[in-house]
Amino acid sequence: MGTRLRGVCDAFEVTVDEPVRGARELNIDVVFLPGGPTDRAKINLRLYSRTREWVIRKEGAWDLEAHVPETLAFLERGETGRLRFTRPLPAFVASYCGQNIEITPVLVTEGDDGSKVRLELDIPLVAEDAWLVVRGLPRSEEVRSTGLTGLLRGRRFRVRLEEVRRGTINLLVEGPRPLSAGRARLQAVEFTDDSESPYSESEPPIVTTETTLVAAGMGTLRGELTLPDATAAPASLYFRGGTYRQGIKWAARLEFEDESSGIARVELPLDIGVERDG
């Protein structure tokens, strides 16, 4: 394992082996201190995010957090006051430092009395045997052309997505009128969204894959999108704090010619996850 990290509060001491790339588990020791204020604690892994303009590394700078599913456990004082447990490490959990957003995994141990230890984990890139997957397939959705012209003309299209093999998605676009060939892009972007400022995305995108859309019948276009390597970009991640949101967004962005009304552009948000063999 990697570096041994340690944190102490009035109630307990927590140590953890910081995972190396490809690690599947977190090995954690919790020691309840003699005469401490509590005999019970919960421990879970969370992801914290912040904008990179906040350069001072202090707890308060990590403004948004997200609980990582299936990493929550409750601990009670044992006969020796020491407990050890192992929890699977989700494949999508890794440190990330992008253009404007930084994300870090943090192990949080909290006693019933409010005592708390946070250990920031520097988890490297996802394992080499991991791959990206689009959740929720097959999928069929009616979408509207973006932009002012598309909204005024009320252009609607049906987009169908299905996985044809690992890492490859079949894309079908259907419209009420003849459609000319176009292109489709699969992109991951950093985004921020706040009620006090407009939605924005960082440029350039974290990663882009592209394919050509070709005619497959009257009013129908077809293409295949290839997902990038799992190390190219994080999975879909959304952090919320009040009215403020930030994170990693994936979307299929399509551009093609509707012969009756010009260029059409549609966007379909995607939920991208990470899987591993075994």
CB burial of 174-205 (b: ≥16 within 10 Å; e: otherwise) equals bbeeebeebebbbbbbbbbbeeeeeeeeeeeb
C-beta atoms surrounding 75 within 10 Å: 20
Q: What is the pLDDT of residues 220-266, one digit of tens each?
A: 999 999 999 998 888 998 888 777 788 999 999 999 887 666 788 89
Least confidently predicted of 45-49, 76-80, 171-175: 76-80
Query: How sure is the predictor about 24, in pLDDT bands with cuts at 50, 70 and 90?
Result: confident
Query: How sure is the predictor about 153, in pLDDT bands with cuts at 50, 70 and 90?
Result: low
pTM: 0.84
C-beta atoms surrounding 236 within 10 Å: 21
Q: Provide φ and ψ at 189, rounded to 5°.
A: -135, 150
Domains plus CATH for the chain?
4-120 (2.60.40), 130-276 (2.60.40)
pLDDT given at position 147: 55
Closest to 220 measured CA to CA, from 173, 255, 258: 173
Read out DSSP for 134-193?
Answer: ETT-SEEEEEE--HHHHHHHT-EEEEEEEEEETTEEEEEEE-SS-EEEEEEEEEEEEEEE
What CA–CA distance (Å, rounded) separates 185 from 145?
A: 15
pLDDT given at position 109: 92
